[in-house]
Amino acid sequence: MAWLIRPIVLANAWGVSSRTVTEWIRTGRLPGVRTPGGQHRVRVDAIAKFCDAEGLPVPKLASGRELTVLVAKRQNLDVRPLRRALRALDVDLEVTTSGAGALLAVASDPPGALVLDAQLPGLDVVSILRALAESPKTAKIPILVCDAPKLRVARYLDAGAHAVALRGEIATLAEELARLARP
């Protein structure tokens, strides 16, 4: 599992601007990745090497405490309550608005955890769960289904979801993420 750090976190730790860190990533000086949403991130394992080469202090977050959670949701599902609930847990949320986008994002860089909106457009949630369970690269990712109708909870769990949050249970979802996604 690759832990990813945002440029602003590194900029604050090193006393430089986030634009400077982003430029280092863009030019290849600091090895980084680009998320499906176009954001720059730096793998934890690259930070220590970069710090040694540049004479910079290794930030505390480079120990792998920050967690990346991918949220695959429909356009009109508000993730602000989830973001607020997870802020204290040092969790970085990435958001996609399609099932296909979720599968592509997970395949290119598996997140620490995945939250699937039960009403996700583009693919059936059960199909996504089964596809992820079949791949050795993604089978161990904790997957939580949110905004689920009560009648479908068993179906999602049978298909591979680690937890299911009913409609309106954002606090429960945050607790489950904290429990499941920490190493």
Looking at domain 4-63, which of 3.40.640.10, 1.10.1660.10, 1.20.120.1770, 3.90.470.10 is its CATH number?
1.10.1660.10
Backbone phi and psi for residue 120, each to the nearest 5 degrees, phi listed first = -65, 130
List, for residues 151-178, the tens digit of each pLDDT value: 888 899 999 988 888 877 766 676 676 6
User: Domain-by-domain residue ranges, the chain?
Assistant: 4-63, 67-181
Mean pLDDT score, 130-149: 86
> Whole-prediction pTM value?
0.61
List, for residues 56-89, the tens digit of each pLDDT value: 877 654 444 457 888 888 887 777 777 776 665 6
* Contact (CB, 8 A) for 68 and 1: no
Q: Residue 9, CB half-sphere, CA atoms under 13 Å: how many?
A: 22
CATH homologous superfamily of 67-181 equals Response regulator (3.40.50.2300)
The pLDDT score that the predictor gives to residue 60 is 56
Distance CA 13, CA 149 (A): 43
* Contact (CB, 8 A) for 173 and 155: no
